[in-house]
């Protein structure tokens, strides 16, 4: 009887919520670096700013780039000098979320403390142009792009989302691209035409035997594409070959690595539109870099606690300033037959209420390696990070994911000019998520 | 889900863990029910093989497990029992459970009989170093109709399960369902008990507002 009472008490009690992070308090972070040098007394555009802006800003802030205005000349920068200096000083721009002292990544857009100091000093000193003769020779800025585009396809028609329920619509589109022979995708660039409604996209290569079924769905409800609530409703998630999320630019796999696409496959684009954030139509373009052969094929490992999907397993209560969840597991028995592998790329996913996201390798001896540490999460600038040096996962190690959310009134999104009220939420496309994918590659 | 998923090709395997966590806990509905009580002074020993699963909106195969148990009469109208189950799939997924249960004979009218059961249990599922635990309580109403030496059993069940693991909030899963079983009396001491159970929980899951659960099993009962 005592056992029955104990079990019943445990069942009805709330004593199972262990949210104590196993990470050390100083995990993957350090004090903001102080400028090492002294900012020039009177910085000028030509001598001091242009090298910084060309290298760190103009990849997006260029005519035809994804940024809303170019910053490729003195006049352009001068027009936005106040806003630019403020964004640089607060490190809101260039967008780069990983905290210093966690890891090193390819394509790091962040500025050094000296560069920030120079930018701010330039603005404080009157945003002087200086003498073009002082300019440091540099490569002209070019838009961020794949080194080579082998395939470029676009949605056949523009699509205007009209959600039946809520603000979200997930829609799939067959793209006019079939692969006659087996191919490896080595780079992707998904370019929505309307960023204000594009929440994310997943690109699939659908095997030949599934295409007829999807063609029958295409347009059956009188609108382009078909309802595609989730990527795994009609599409096998194992066929995902790339995608896009806010902040993403061209995605280039490590040298010699590719995602396999079987002969006869056709591309399908699964778009998630959020009409709470914008209006209008979208006609996304997809660019691919391909290769007939690669040395290694890319694989992915997902990190999510299955209980987050079930019931209230990821409940984020209204007004909670720091709701926290985490999950750790050894991926080697499930994904690599118990063999070690090395992580090459990492990606973390939360929605607008996210504040902190951490991704680590926990070793059996209690130590950890930091894969990603984002302490000031911005939904609009999540991206996939390629590690400068791959990190080894040994059997017995655990991949660890930790997410934090601020669900107080001050951190709610604004819809139609109205700040939303906090509400208790859980896992959902229009609620929150905590997920990560780490990529590795296997020799063919 | 998110994008840049060029390597997101093996999520189906991870989905198996979802089923393990959910279905493993929900399967133990005080299984292999019958209205007959264990004969006075004897013990029923049970050996079973079963398959259980859950429709969670994700991929994932049903999971097999084996069960052993014993029951004994403790009162004119009451017997009690204990059952243990194990799913030994190595590091990928291993699950084990223990349940204690009691059964009160309510009455008999001709070939028809009824009993009220109750069971509480604990289950732990480990998958690649991650641990999921759960406790459950279930109350089946057992209705039997004798067919000669055999018995056809229908058993509506209500219950509650609570799952937890580090880093997640505890999950409450009220559930309801029913079992259809048969006691096939092979010999004086031996019986076969096939049973199928379906259940429903209103708790949402990956892409569903509720989940359906099922368990099918075949038990061998030896009375000594």
Question: Comparing A295 with A24, which gets the higher pLDDT?
Answer: A295
Give the CATH number of domain A151-294; options: 2.160.10.10, 2.60.120.310, 3.40.50.2300, 3.20.20.70: 2.60.120.310
Name the strand (E) or helix (H) holding A70: none
Q: Does A265 touch chain B (CB under 8 A)?
A: no
Asked if this assembly's ipTM is beyond 0.90, the reply is no
Q: How many helices (H) and strands (E) does chain B have?
A: 1, 10
* Nearest residue of chain A to residue B131 (CA atoms): A329
Nearest to B184 by CA among B218, B143, B157: B218
CA distance B159 to B219: 22
How far, CA to CA in Å, does A23 sit from each of A99, A343, A401, B53? 15, 19, 10, 34
Statement: residue B21 has pLDDT above 70: no
Q: pLDDT value at position A141? A: 65
Residue A38 near residue A112, CB atoms below 8 Å? no
Nearest CB to B5; choose among A16, A240, A382: A240
* Nearest residue of chain A to residue B122 (CA atoms): A7
Could you read off the pLDDT of A226-237 as tens digits, one per residue? 987 644 445 665
Averaged pLDDT for residues A383-399: 90
Nearest to A160 by CA among A115, A224, A210: A224
Could you read off the pLDDT of A175-185 as tens digits, one per residue? 998 999 999 99
Could you read off the pLDDT of B190-206 as tens digits, one per residue? 999 999 998 888 877 66
Give the E-state strand segments of A179-320 in sequence order: 183-191, 198-206, 226-227, 240-244, 251-252, 257-261, 266-274, 285-291, 296-303
| pLDDT more than 90, % of chain A | 45
CA distance A329 to A316: 23
Averaged pLDDT for residues A67-94: 92
Please indicate whether the domains covering A151-294 and A298-443 agree at the CATH topology level: yes
Residue range B11-223 forms a domain whose CATH class is: mainly beta
Cβ contact (<8 Å) for B14 and A304? yes
> Tokens standing for A296?
């290694």
Q: Does A338 touch chain B (CB under 8 A)?
A: yes
* First-to-final CA distance of chain A: 59
Q: Residue ranges of the domains in chain B?
A: 11-223
Nearest to A353 by CA among A330, A320, A326: A320
Averaged pLDDT for residues A141-166: 87
Question: Comparing A231 with B125, which gets the higher pLDDT?
Answer: B125
Q: Does A386 touch chain B (CB under 8 A)?
A: no
Q: Which residues of A touch B14 (CB under 8 A)?
A: 302, 304, 306, 334
Q: Does A343 touch chain B (CB under 8 A)?
A: no
Q: Residue ranges of the domains in chain A?
A: 45-134, 151-294, 298-443
Q: Which residues of B touch A349 (CB under 8 A)?
A: 1-2
* Nearest residue of chain B to residue A403 (CA atoms): B167
Statement: residue A405 has pLDDT above 80: yes
Q: How far is A39 from chain B (nearest CA, A)?
A: 38
Query: Taking CB atoms and an 8 Å cut-off, how many pairs form between chains A and B?
Result: 227
What sign does the dihedral A207-A213-A217-A220 (CA atoms) show? Answer: positive
Residue B168 near residue A308, CB atoms below 8 Å? yes
Residue B210 near residue A310, CB atoms below 8 Å? no
How far, CA to CA in Å, does A314 sit from each of A12, A173, A261, A360, B209? 18, 31, 35, 20, 15
Residue A146 near residue A249, CB atoms below 8 Å? no
Q: Does B209 touch chain A (CB under 8 A)?
A: no
Q: Does A8 touch chain B (CB under 8 A)?
A: yes
Residue A179 near residue A263, CB atoms below 8 Å? yes
CA distance A1 to A4: 5
Could you read off the pLDDT of A281-308 as tens digits, one per residue? 999 999 999 999 999 998 888 888 888 8
Give A215's pLDDT tier (boundaries 50, 70, 90).
very high
CB neighbour burial string for A348-366, b if at least 16 within 10 angstroms, e if fewer: bbbbbbbbbbbbbbbeeee
pTM recorded for the entire structure: 0.81
> Tokens standing for A376?
């000031």
Statement: residue B33 has pLDDT above 80: yes
State yes or no: cis peptide before A55, omega within 30 of 0. Answer: no
Q: pLDDT value at position A229? A: 64
According to CATH, what is the number of the domain A298-443?
2.60.120.230
Cβ contact (<8 Å) for A302 and B8? yes
């Amino acid at each position: 009887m005592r056992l029955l009472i104990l079990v019943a008490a445990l069942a009805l009690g709330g004593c199972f919520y262990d949210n104590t992070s196993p990470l050390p308090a100083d995990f993957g972070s350090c004090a903001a670096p102080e400028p090492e040098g002294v900012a020039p007394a009177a910085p000028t555009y030509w001598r001091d700013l242009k090298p910084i802006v060309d290298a760190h800003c103009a990849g997006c802030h260029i005519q035809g780039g994804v940024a809303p205005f170019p910053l490729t000349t003195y006049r352009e920068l001068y027009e936005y000098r106040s806003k630019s200096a403020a964004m640089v000083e607060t490190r809101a721009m260039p967008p780069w979320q990983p905290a210093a002292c966690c890891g090193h990544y390819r394509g790091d857009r962040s500025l050094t403390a000296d560069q920030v100091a120079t930018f701010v000093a330039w603005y404080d000193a009157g945003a002087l142009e200086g003498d073009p003769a002082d300019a440091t020779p540099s490569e002209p800025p070019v838009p961020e792009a794949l080194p080579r585009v082998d395939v470029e396809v676009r949605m056949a028609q523009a699509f205007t989302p009209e959600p039946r329920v809520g603000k979200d619509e997930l829609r799939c589109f067959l793209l006019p691209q079939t692969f006659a022979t087996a191919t490896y995708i080595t780079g992707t660039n998904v370019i929505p035409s309307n960023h204000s409604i594009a929440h994310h996209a997943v690109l699939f290569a659908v095997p030949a035997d599934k295409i007829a079924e999807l063609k029958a769905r295409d347009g059956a409800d009188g609108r382009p594409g078909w309802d595609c609530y989730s990527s795994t409703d009609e599409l096998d998630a194992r066929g995902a070959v790339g995608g896009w999320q806010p902040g993403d630019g061209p995605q280039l796999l490590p040298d010699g690595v590719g995602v396999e696409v079987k002969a006869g496959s056709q591309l399908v684009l699964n778009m998630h539109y959020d009409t709470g954030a914008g209006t209008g139509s979208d006609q996304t373009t997809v660019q691919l870099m391909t290769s007939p052969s690669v040395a290694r094929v890319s694989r992915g490992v997902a990190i999510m606690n299955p209980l987050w999907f079930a019931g209230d397993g990821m409940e984020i209560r209204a007004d909670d300033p720091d709701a926290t969840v985490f999950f750790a597991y050894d991926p080697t028995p499930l994904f690599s037959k118990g063999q070690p592998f090395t992580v090459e790329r990492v990606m973390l996913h939360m929605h607008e209420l996210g504040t902190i996201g951490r991704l680590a390798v926990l070793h059996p001896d209690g130590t950890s390696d930091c894969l990603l540490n984002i302490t000031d999460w911005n939904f609009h600038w999540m991206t996939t990070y390629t590690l400068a040096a791959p990190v080894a996962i040994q059997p017995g190690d655990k991949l660890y994911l930790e997410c934090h959310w601020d669900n107080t009134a001050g951190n709610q999104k604004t819809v139609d000019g109205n700040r939303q009220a906090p509400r208790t939420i859980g896992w959902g496309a229009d609620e929150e998520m905590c997920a990560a994918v780490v990529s590795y590659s296997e020799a063919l | 889900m998110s994008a840049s998923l060029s390597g997101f090709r093996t999520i189906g395997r991870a989905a198996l863990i979802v089923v393990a966590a959910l279905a493993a806990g929900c399967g133990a509905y005080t299984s292999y029910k019958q209205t007959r009580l264990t004969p006075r002074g004897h013990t029923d020993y049970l050996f079973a093989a079963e398959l259980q699963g859950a429709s969670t909106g994700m991929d994932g195969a049903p999971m097999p497990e084996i069960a052993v148990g014993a029951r004994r009469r403790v009162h004119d109208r009451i017997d009690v029992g204990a059952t243990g189950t194990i799913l030994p799939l190595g590091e990928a997924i291993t699950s084990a459970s223990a349940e204690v249960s009691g059964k009160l004979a309510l009455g008999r009218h001709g070939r028809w009989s009824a009993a009220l059961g109750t069971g509480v249990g604990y289950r732990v599922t480990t998958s690649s170093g991650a641990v999921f635990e759960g406790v459950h309580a279930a109350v089946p109403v057992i209705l039997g109709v004798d067919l000669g030496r055999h018995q056809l059993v229908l058993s509506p069940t209500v219950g509650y399960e609570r799952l937890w693991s580090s880093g997640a909030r505890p999950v409450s899963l009220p559930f309801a369902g029913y079992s259809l079983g048969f006691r096939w009396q092979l010999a004086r001491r031996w019986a076969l008990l096939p049973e199928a159970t379906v259940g429903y929980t209103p708790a949402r899951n990956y892409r569903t507002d509720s989940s359906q659960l099922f368990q099918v099993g075949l038990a061998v009962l030896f009375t000594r």
